[in-house]
Amino acid sequence: MRPISLTCLCLVFMPSLDAAPPAYPETRRGDVVETLHGVKIADPYRWLEDDNSAETKAWVEAQNEVTFGYLKAIPERAALLERLTELEYYARMNPPFKVKGRYFFSRNTGLQNQSVLYTASSLDAEPQVLLDPNTFSDDGTVALSGVNVSDDGKLVAYAVSKSGSDWKEWRVREVATARDLPDLVQWSKFSDASWSPDGAGFYYSAYDQPAAGEEFSAANINQKVYYHKLGTAQSEDALIYERPDQPRWGFDAHPTRDGRYLIISIRGGAGARNALYYKDLRKPDSRITHLIKGFEARHTVIDSEGDTLWVHTDSMAPRGRVIAVDMQNPGPHRWKNVIPQSEDTIRSVSRVGRQFVVSYMQDAHSVVRRYKTDGTSLGEIKLPGLGSAAGFIGRPDERETFYAFSSYTSPATIHRFDFDTGESTPYWQPDLEFDPDLYETRQQFYQSKDGTRVPMFIVSRKGLEADGSHPTLLYGYGGFNISMLPRFSSSLIGWLEQGGVYAVANLRGGGEYGENWHKGGMRENKQNGFDDFIAAAEWLVDHKITSPDHLAISGGSNGGLLVGACMTQRPDLFAAAIPSVGVLDMLRFHKFTIGWAWTKEYGNPDVGKDFKVIRAYSPLHNLKPGTRYPSTMITTGDHDDRVVPAHSFKFAAALQRAHRGDNPVLIRISTNAGHGAGKPTSMRLEEAADRWAFLLHELR
């Protein structure tokens, strides 16, 4: 394809759309009013929660007609889509991992809707297609959402998800023949499939089948652990564990590598904090009993050897440590500190090459160190720069592992690490349609409202002049202990090529500095994360990177809440906002699918003291009629069964009514799409073109 010259999208000569605001569809206002903790709460758009009703479907169609009409009228959109397609057209792959001498990895030639799973007998052998999700559907909306290879390398359990839903169907494929066995497991969600060491079957978690019409909205409760024996129907699967007395507990079960124990991780809500239970598999009649009680810390089993279980935990170590647990006497007073807490935050730990590979976060970028199993340091794995490293998968007896390194302006390069030499060598790198050397990423620290020091990445063309004129997108998340490390997106290059600046603030509520950083932005401290985001915007303005007329904010899911809260608190500070799949009705988030689990993060609006905090920032309930809000494009998917689209529907209707100004308030509703996972390449490119076209037009 022909490269687009920069003058094609020059902001100075961008023609305007009509000055009048779009003609929004009429949205019926109902008369629902509830009294919560003595406060009357009107909910006139409650009817939009029923996404199966004819009225809601007609509303969705009418809103999309306005939105897509507006976006298609932006002259530069077609050129943007062409350029973004060029930028996306590069081969990419995930780090290989090895099972019984055979390698497995996924690869995409560039514009395939879904990446393909391959296998090879050696690094030099011709890879063979094992699973091609592009054959699952014509439009690419059926995705591969989980893969687990049996210990003997002969079988792979794989999960399929449709239209971006969290629901999974598990199937089994023979590696040698690439043919499916007849096995089928349905209604699994938030679960892996973990093979028993003998390869005779796998453990998984599932819910009861929901009522017809409620598959994407009913509350997900009473999850159970099952064991599926190959060659049998799902109805015959053995029930391993359930807790009807704790309907909101969720489970993830996997056996230790030697098959001695079944470890069950139990979560009481969303986030990483969990309890650990176990069953002695050497004794068929043994009971499942607690190993580590409570939900006050995170505990991730790394590996085991004999009676020793190694665990990555943040118990009494908010930035993380590695402990050894004696399974014959597993009480906390007997835990042995193997890798103590350091100044950096542990992100993940794997045991490969009979040593621990520990990935740390150091000021929100990756640092990787190695240790013997007794905690003796073996040094650092040198990384190419300021970015993110991921992978390091393998088994204790392997002498190699692979990892991907990427940054905001460099796509993932695969490296092979040799445990015998202690050296990394490039294994695979993409062929690019742009020059990364034209751009730079710098890290800036700024002060939030209460004086807290917060990091922010700023990505731009080199030699950026601080004159306040640059269209800038500020992105954030700030919740659920999730960290925002540098990662590559080809669509970002399309933004940078047009002179755009991209900034990412590492807000409290995330996990960049451990559990204390997380707690600093959750529940009653949630406003801290919003203050951090607003302070980042003010820093960008004060230092003339941009100005309020050229500044936009964006975030998804919990980040959509962030955007909704900040645009309602400081509408004067931003010219545009894109809240994506956001949690926007904070008084009813716990009523749908897995939303009840988020009360651990946000608090419970049914509890008086939590209600007061939550209502103070709930985006839907803090819109003020007659206010000029930023140009807004709300985005969601009609099959989002994590943050149900009603959040976005109700916020869009209320914002269109409250807003006073000629600038647009739009909602873009993707069909056959969910919360984001598994989205086909073609759909992602269309969304990116719409996003950048909207921002370039509104920030001109």
Flag the least confident range among 195-204, 262-271, 523-532, 662-671.
262-271
Q: CA-CA distance, 505 to 134, in Å (whole number)?
A: 35
Coil, strand or helix at 458: strand
Active-site entry in 424, 460, 557, 580? 557
- Segment 295-311 shows an average pLDDT of 95
Active site residue 228: no
> Could you count the other beta carbons within 10 Å of the beta carbon of residue 136?
17
Q: 500-515: per-residue pLDDT in tens?
A: 999 999 999 999 999 9
Is 195:150 a contact under the CB 8 Å cutoff? yes
- Which pLDDT band, with edges at 50, 70 and 90, does 187 fall under? very high
Q: Calculate Rg over the CA atoms of the chain.
A: 25
- Segment 250-278 shows an average pLDDT of 91
Percent of the chain beyond pLDDT 70? 96
Q: Tokens standing for 161?
A: 């998800």
> Mean pLDDT over all residues of the chain?
93
- State the residue for tokens 């042995």: 336
In DSSP terms, 226 is beta-bridged to: 204, 239
Give yes or no for residue 607 having a pLDDT over 80.
yes
Please name the amino acid found at residue 61.
E
> Which residue, among 490, 487, 512, 493, has the nearest Cα to 405 in the 3D structure?
487
Q: CA-CA distance, 93 to 68, in Å (whole number)?
A: 33
Is 446:541 a contact under the CB 8 Å cutoff? no
Q: Tokens standing for 270?
A: 């969303």
Find all residues with CB under 8 Å of 517, minimum gap 6, and list them: 508, 509, 510, 511
- Which pLDDT band, with edges at 50, 70 and 90, does 293 fall under? confident
- Segment 33-41 shows an average pLDDT of 97
Task: Report pLDDT for 58.
Answer: 96
- Segment 488-497 shows an average pLDDT of 96
Q: Tokens standing for 566?
A: 């900040």
Flag the least confident range among 217-231, 261-275, 326-340.
261-275
Give yes or no for residue 164 having a pLDDT over 80.
no
Give yes or no for residue 5 having a pLDDT over 90.
no
- Which pLDDT band, with edges at 50, 70 and 90, does 163 fall under? confident
Coil, strand or helix at 530: helix
- Segment 479-491 shows an average pLDDT of 95
Give yes or no for residue 398 having a pLDDT over 80.
yes
> Could you count the other beta carbons within 10 Å of the beta carbon of residue 317?
20
Task: Report pLDDT for 7.
Answer: 29
> Which residue, among 459, 487, 456, has the nearest Cα to 472 in the 3D structure?
459
Is 650:620 a contact under the CB 8 Å cutoff? yes
Q: 327-336: per-residue pLDDT in tens?
A: 999 999 999 9
Q: CA-CA distance, 208 to 224, in Å (whole number)?
A: 9
Q: 678-687: per-residue pLDDT in tens?
A: 678 888 999 9
Task: Report pLDDT for 13.
Answer: 30
Task: Report pLDDT for 392.
Answer: 97
Is 551:536 a contact under the CB 8 Å cutoff? no
Active site residue 557: yes
> Could you count the other beta carbons within 10 Å of the beta carbon of residue 22?
18
The alpha-helical segments, DSSP class H, found in 4-127 are 54-72, 77-88
In DSSP terms, 473 is beta-bridged to: 502, 552
Give yes or no for residue 128 having a pLDDT over 80.
yes
Q: How far is CA 591 from CA 42, 359, 480, 595, 604, in A?
A: 17, 37, 19, 6, 11
- Which pLDDT band, with edges at 50, 70 and 90, does 677 fall under? low
Task: Report pLDDT for 10.
Answer: 35
- Segment 347-365 shows an average pLDDT of 97
Helix axes 608-617, 526-542, angle to 10 degrees: 20
Q: CA-CA distance, 59 to 28, in Å (whole number)?
A: 10
- Which pLDDT band, with edges at 50, 70 and 90, does 483 fall under? very high
Give yes or no for residue 171 having a pLDDT over 90.
yes
DSSP 596: G
Please name the amino acid found at residue 152.
D
Active-site entry in 254, 299, 365, 675? 675
Coil, strand or helix at 227: strand
Task: Report pLDDT for 214.
Answer: 86
Q: Tokens standing for 204?
A: 């998984």
- Segment 589-596 shows an average pLDDT of 92
Q: How far is CA 476 from CA 116, 276, 311, 458, 496, in A?
A: 31, 32, 30, 12, 18
- Segment 363-387 shows an average pLDDT of 96
Is 689:81 a contact under the CB 8 Å cutoff? yes
Give yes or no for residue 639 having a pLDDT over 90.
no
